[in-house]
Structure 1
Amino acid sequence: MEEQGKGFFKVYDGQELEKQELMSAYIGKNVDYYLHKWHKAAAPEKALSWNWAAFIFGAFWVGYRQMYAYLALLVGMMLAADLAYIYVLGWEPDMRITIGISLLMGVFGNALYYRHIRRKLAQLNEEGIEPEEIHRRAAADGGPNWRGILATCLLLFLYNFILGYLTSL
């Protein structure tokens, strides 16, 4: 195995280099941050590492990074937790749920994003298209996207509407 590159960008074969280039293309903005976090972990899809953006912005960070399945899951968990507070415990929802979810997002955000990217790149590879086209589509489809913020706003509006309706019954 011949070592190529140095320091953070050290890789041992062409396949690993191609994987890193595809991930870089998909990530877009802040690529160095994510690659550094994942490089430090033996299993990045399971690693616990801190992400301030995921902690502070939570669902908005998930939407911005186009992780729509995780966004739906996150909002569903928020709704379920609020309903459990109200109907099971008989309490009014408070900041404990929000703080708990923020902490979970801060700790698991990088791992979730890694899983998301690996799944998206695997889908592109399964299409049987040329490597250049995979790279082009990864760059075009990935990265941060402000439409995800809009999707988050709409989903949180729906969450508040449902919660308001169910609590008014």
Structure 2
Amino acid sequence: MGYFGITKWNFSEVNDKDRLGVFIGESKKDKYLRKFGMRLYDESCINLPRRAKLSWNWSAFLGGVLWLGYRKMYIELIVLSTLVMLPNLIFSDISDTQDTIITALYWLVLGLISNSLYFAKCKREITRIKSLNLSLYDELEVLKQKGGTSVVGIFISVLTLIIDLAIYVIAHLYLI
């Protein structure tokens, strides 16, 4: 097996689709390329599309912000965990039913848009790393390091949830 799982190309033939595969990780590469709407073995598809097609992600739906941390999407994690908490902070008279509906919508939307968010992050990171003008070997090494998954990210997600809960409790006890 070649470097970074790239077996059918030599280093002079690596394209953005290959970079995306290195960034995602070999074990999930084919799954995510399909979810992004890319053909796996189409040699004419060497550039990344402008955006990913809308697709469902069960892991994001069931795992919520834990999935975001696992996929190293820390900015998205903070933004989305803050957005789900805002209605409870802004409107002090939200009923349990309304809170349940808001939370269910949050989970549904996350399951629906997570692949698009992940593709945007992948594309952003690939573009940023390519602009560093590293050797191709170093570029692929950085892509592999910055991409993939992170168990530490799950702990960051849990920490974010604890902070959100603390803010919620403090706001309801002392401010609202």
**TM-score range normalised by the length of the shorter chain:** 0.7 to 0.9
Match of 2:74 among 50, 62, 68: 68
Runs of 4+ off more than 6 Å: none
Give the aligned residue type for 1:69: I
Q: Which runs of no fewer than 5 residues in structure 1 stay unpaired? A: 1-13
Of 131, 154, 165, the residue aligned with 2:159 is 154
Select the residue among 70, 80, 94 that pairs with 1:91: 94
Identity of aligned residues (%): 26
Q: Give the aligned partner of residue 63 of structure 2.
A: 57
Match for residue 110 of structure 2?
105
2:168 aligned with 1:163? yes
Q: How far 1:39 moved relative to its partner?
A: 2.8
Shift of 1:109: 0.6
Q: Report how far residue 84 of structure 1 moved.
A: 3.0
Q: Is the 8 A contact 1:44 1:111 kept in 2?
A: no
Task: Select 1:32's aligned residue among 30, 33, 36.
Answer: 30
Instruction: Give the C-alpha shift of residue 65 in structure 1.
Output: 0.2
**CA separation in 1, counterparts of 2:71 and 2:50?**
17
Q: TM-score, normalised by structure 1?
A: 0.82
CA contact (8 A) 1:38 1:44 kept: no
Q: How many residues align?
A: 152
Question: What secondary structure sits across from 1:53 in the alignment?
Answer: helix
46 and 39 in structure 1: CA distance in 2 versus 1, 3 angstrom threshold? closer
Matched residue, 1:3: none
- 1:137 aligns with one of 119, 139, 142: 142
What TM-score do you get using the length of structure 2 for normalisation?
A: 0.79
